[in-house]
Structures are given as C-alpha cells and as structure tokens.
Structure 1
Amino acid sequence: MSDSVSPVRPIIATAAGIALLSLMDAFMKSAALELGAYSAALLRSGIAFAIVFPIWRLGKPRWPQRRVLKLHAIRGVAGAMMALTFFYSLTKLPLAETIAISFIAPLLSLYLAALLLGEVIRPRAIWGAVLGLGGVLVIVGGKFDRGNLTDETALGLAAIIVSALLYAWNLVLQRQQALVAKPAEVATFYMGIASLTYLVAAPWLFVMPPIEATRDVAVAAVLSVGGALTMAWAYARAQAQVLVPLEYTGFLWAALFGWLLLGERVTVTTLAGAVLIVAGCWIATTRGRTEQSVL
C-alpha cells in the first residue's frame, strides 16, 4: 500500500521529526546559555549549512530563478531573526513554556495570510485567536502569581512573541516556497542565507568559543537537518491536514527533554495555557461542517 493511501509512515516520520527538533531546542538552550544566543545561532546555521549543502548538490540542481532566489532570501533573513529571538527566549524561560507560547504562530499566520495572500479570515479563526491569547495570558499570569515575572522574564516573553510573529510569516513564506522549490534546496538556502544574515553582526557580537563548548551546537545542527529532512519527506507523502495536528506533540517532547536534560518542571498554569493555545489553533485551522459544505 502506498504512502498516499496509508499515512502511517508519514505520521511516524512527522512525530520523529518533531521529536528531533524539540531535542534540538533543548541542546540549543544549553548552547545559548553557555555561548550566548547570537553565537549559538550563527554556529548552528553554519554547521547545518555545511551538512545540507552537499545533499542538495548531489541532486545536480539548477540555480534557482531570480524570483525564487528572492523568496529564499526573504525567508532566510526572516528565519534568522525568528531563530535568534527564539533561542534568546530559551535563555530566559523554561523550554516547555517557550514552546507553548510559540504555538500561537499558526493563529498569527492566518491573519498574515489574509494580509499578504488575500485569504479570507473565517469566524473560527477569530474564536481561535481569542482562545490562544487566553492561553498566553494564563501562562504569563502564572509567572506573575509565582513572583517570577522579573525584567529578565519579561524580555524572554517579548522575544518569544516576536519570534512567533516571525514564525507566522515564515509559515506563509513556506507555503509559497513549497510551490517553487524542493526541500533540499529550501533547506540549503535557508541555512545559507541565515548564516550570511548573522555574519553581518559578527565583528561586534561573535566570540569564537573553545572547541569543547561547541558540542551542543554541533548536535543541534545535526538534529536540525535531520528533523527538517524527515518532516519534508513526510509532508511530501501525506496531506498537511493529517500531519499538522502532530505539531502540538512538540509541547510533550519539550516537557520531557526540559525535565531530563535541563531539570525543568512543567507547572499547572503552563499546562493549562498550552491546552488553551492548542485548542485555539485547532478551532482556527479546521473547518466546520457549514464551511466544508460550501467549499
């Protein structure tokens, strides 16, 4: 039975890819705490590019057309800033909380798609956004009640909101890229342009760490490439509506890896907020019976 008929293997691959990327986040948190978010992000993108570039070249590809290259460049720059703010937030917030708040990105992407692609915002998207915002407020309120809403925490919260906004734009750009480029090309240019973007500030911000301090970054780079290629394989063989809900298992992986590798515990308010955010995303990104009958 082919993968197009039975999505079991793509589902397993997607779950595995999400697990790899969640583990990558845990290693990047350790690296960012040790090296700083900027240096860790630059090293990760550079190493990942060195890994994925030969994979792309093995396919004997053609150089992308100008319009495609422009799309690669826009997403590479946006993705670089998205990753940098995300890794910075990891240095200020627990892993599970950061992942939970980042789940508002699919909600934000609906509104960006309306703005940039002319898509219609459905009523369900509005209700979903309200639930998602409520989930964020529950998580933030939990930190306030525990007396943990310090200036450093506020910076982390601001960074993850900015990262989620950029990730929402990234989702829109990714939809456009999927129509014009193959996964290996997308990954190569994404990592390459992100590296060039970071290099602009290298003379002022980058400090070469000792070799032993780059272990976590190297592991994170390998996990990044493995997760990206695994997810690309899965999405080429099953419908997005089947696989997208699995994205939310990232919270479970983040909670597990945060506990095992970083000694972090998930609070009740974080769990409650994550449930509200996921519920909001589910409502916003699925169609009701009435909408399905019209389309």
Structure 2
Amino acid sequence: MPLSDNMRGALLMMASMAAFTINDTFMKALAGAVPLFQLLFLRGALTSVLTGIWVYRVRAMHLRMPRRDKGLIGLRAVAEVGAAYFFLTALFHMPIANVTAILQSLPLTVSLCAALFFGETLGWRRLSAILIGLAGVMLIVRPGAEDFNFYSVYVLIAVAFVTLRDLVTRKLSAQTHSIFVSWTTSISIMVVFGLASLGRDWVPMDLRAWGFTIAASVSIIGGYLFSVQVMRVGEITFIAPFRYTGLIWALVLGWFVFGDWPAPLTLIGAAIVVGSGIFMLYREGQIARRAKRNR
C-alpha cells in the first residue's frame, strides 16, 4: 500500500527527531571525557566533510546567490554557533529529557517573534497558547526552586539562538539550496570551535570516544537530511506535531542510557508546552483552510 505524502512527511519528521536526539545522546555520553570545544571541532570537521560530499553530489556548491542571502547565511551561522555552545554546555550538566522539554518551546517562540518582527498575524487564541506554553517552560525550569539548575538558563539562551536561526532561515530565498546552508553552518562550527580549542589542552581519544564522535556526526547529518526532506512533502500543519516525538526519544534514551527520569513537575510542564504547540498548529490549519475556502 503506497504511503500518502502526509504519512511520508510524518515518518520523515519522526526520523529527523530521532536522529537529532541520538546525536545528543552520543554527545552527552562524552561529557567529561572530551573537552567541549575539541568535541565540537571534531564533529564539525566530520560533518563538514560528509555534508560537503552531499553538496557536491546534488551540485549545490556554488556562490551564485542573492547578496542578501550571503548576509543571512552569515547571521544564521552565528546563531548556530551560539546555539551549539549553550545547548551542549547545558546538555553536559542536565538530563537530556529536561533539555529537550525546554526546546519544545521553539514553535511558540518562533511564532511569537515572527509576529513581532515580521508582522505575521497572531490572534488572541494563538497568543494565549504561546503564553500558556511559556508558563509550561517555567514549570520545567522552576527558577528559585531548590533543585533549580542554572544550566536551564543556558537552554533558554540556546532557544533564543535557535529562534533567531529559524527566523533568518525563513528569509532565505528559494535560490539557495538547503544543504548548502547546512554545509556552511558545519564549516562555521568547525572553524569557530577549532580556533577556540587552540588555547586549551586536547585530550587523547580512545576507540570509544572516536566511535561516539563519528556516530554523533552521522546522526546529526541524518537529522539534517530528514529535516530538509520533510519540508518538501505533505501538509506542514499535519506533519509539524510529530516534531514532539523528540521528547519521547529523549525520555526513553535518558532513562535507558543515563538512568535519568524527569520530576513530575517537569513532565507536567512538558505536556503543557507540547499541548500549546499542537493547539497552535491546529489553529494554523483552521486559518489556512478558511482562507482557501474564501478564495
């Protein structure tokens, strides 16, 4: 039985979330064994080589693009470097499920910033969903509580950087190939963290560390590949809620690999964030269908 475009898109979205979470798991497993800057440089180098081959195969290796896109790609690279540093620093000090739960606020922050800076329509229902979702984030972070981890703030800073990255990506023209953008991002991470690691001691890596680093590189490329493909099939309002399967992967891997399980308040906050995001997508679908009928 052939798959519909929507079902194919849902499977690709779930595969993308699985790949990104598996990458996070391998990176977290190396915490304390390999310095962060060394690890980011090596992963960036491996990812740059592999995505470079991909860029060459699809003939996307060119600089003939709108001048505006070059500036946007540079800004996107800065956002990606900031997100990588703050996200992985937090990941090395927090349970993976907690970090992933806070990241589920991304659809909410992107929608809010798109309304503020791009003038996109944001009705009271969607604005209410965003505010409720952000309240869910506060339940996860719980500033002032006894078990408050300052690295939760690092995740929030990472969310801000990823929000900037996604908003910049929205402004790129269709002439610029997605994988070319991913390749330039990988190179930026390799260069920035390679330079940052020069003033620090490198540690020798055993076979396990190299294996985990290579596995993380392959996993994140899989995430890139699936996330690019998912935008080319099906209806985004149907597919986008499957982004939240990343939280399920984080809960399972966090418990199975690291023996971590979030506190009840964290799970309640995560459920509020996910529920708010799904409601946002539902409203977006309603508005799109209404606009289509009124044409």
Deviation digits for residues 11-30 of structure 1, max 9, x if unmatched? 21221121111111111111
The CA distance in 2 between the partners of 1:178 and 1:95, in whole Å, is 34
The CA distance in 2 between the partners of 1:205 and 1:280, in whole Å, is 43
Are 1:247 and 2:222 matched, yes or no? Answer: no
Deviation digits for residues 235-280 of structure 1, max 9, x if unmatched? 2122222221111111000011111111212332221110011122
- Output aligned runs, 1:147-162, within 5 Å: 147-149=146-148, 153-154=149-150, 156-162=151-157
Q: Does structure 1 retain, via aligned residues, the 8 Å contact 2:5–2:233?
A: no
- Output aligned runs, 1:43-192, within 5 Å: 43-61=42-60, 62-65=62-65, 66-141=67-142, 144=145, 147-149=146-148, 153-154=149-150, 156-177=151-172, 179-192=174-187
Deviation digits for residues 81-105 of structure 1, max 9, x if unmatched? 1011111111121100110011112
2:48 partner letter? F
Find the residue that maps to 2:172 and give its secondary structure.
helix
Q: CA RMSD in A?
A: 2.5
The CA distance in 1 between the partners of 2:126 and 2:38, in whole Å, is 37
Q: Does structure 2 retain, via aligned residues, the 8 Å contact 1:32–1:87?
A: no
Which of 214, 219, 224 is equivalent to 2:220? Answer: 224
Between 1:66-75 and 1:177-186, the stretch displaced more is 177-186
In 2 relative to 1, CA 293–265 (structure 1 residues): closer, same or farther, beyond 3 Å? same
1:123 partner letter? W
Between 1:199-208 and 1:282-291, the stretch displaced more is 282-291
Are 1:293 and 2:290 matched, yes or no? Answer: yes
In 2 relative to 1, CA 290–25 (structure 1 residues): closer, same or farther, beyond 3 Å? closer
Q: Does structure 1 retain, via aligned residues, the 8 Å contact 2:34–2:205?
A: no
Find the residue that maps to 2:32 and give its secondary structure.
helix
The CA distance in 2 between the partners of 1:73 and 1:206, in whole Å, is 29
Q: Does structure 1 retain, via aligned residues, the 8 Å contact 2:35–2:202?
A: no
1:164 partner letter? V
In 2 relative to 1, CA 294–58 (structure 1 residues): closer, same or farther, beyond 3 Å? closer
2:79 partner letter? A
The CA distance in 2 between the partners of 1:113 and 1:180, in whole Å, is 22
In 2 relative to 1, CA 14–292 (structure 1 residues): closer, same or farther, beyond 3 Å? closer
1:263: which partner in 2?
259
Find the residue that maps to 2:31 and give its secondary structure.
helix
1:202: which partner in 2?
197
The CA distance in 2 between the partners of 1:206 and 1:85, in whole Å, is 21
Find the residue that maps to 2:5 and give its secondary structure.
coil
In 2 relative to 1, CA 83–68 (structure 1 residues): closer, same or farther, beyond 3 Å? same
1:29: which partner in 2?
28
The CA distance in 1 between the partners of 2:79 and 2:86, in whole Å, is 11
Q: Could you state the TM-score of these two structures normalised by the residue count of structure 1?
A: 0.88
1:124 partner letter? R
Q: Does structure 2 retain, via aligned residues, the 8 Å contact 1:142–1:270?
A: no
Q: Does structure 2 retain, via aligned residues, the 8 Å contact 1:124–1:283?
A: no
Q: Does structure 1 retain, via aligned residues, the 8 Å contact 2:132–2:272?
A: yes
Deviation digits for residues 178-200 of structure 1, max 9, x if unmatched? 63322321221121122223234
Q: Does structure 2 retain, via aligned residues, the 8 Å contact 1:45–1:192?
A: yes
1:10: which partner in 2?
9
Q: Which runs of 5+ in 2 are unaligned?
A: none
Find the residue that maps to 2:239 and give its secondary structure.
helix
The CA distance in 1 between the partners of 2:155 and 2:54, in whole Å, is 32
The CA distance in 2 between the partners of 1:223 and 1:206, in whole Å, is 27
Q: How many residues align?
A: 288
Find the residue that maps to 1:7 and give its secondary structure.
helix
Q: Does structure 2 retain, via aligned residues, the 8 Å contact 1:89–1:159?
A: yes
Residue 216 of structure 1: how far off its partner (Å): 1.8
The CA distance in 2 between the partners of 1:286 and 1:75, in whole Å, is 29
Residue 224 of structure 1: how far off its partner (Å): 0.3
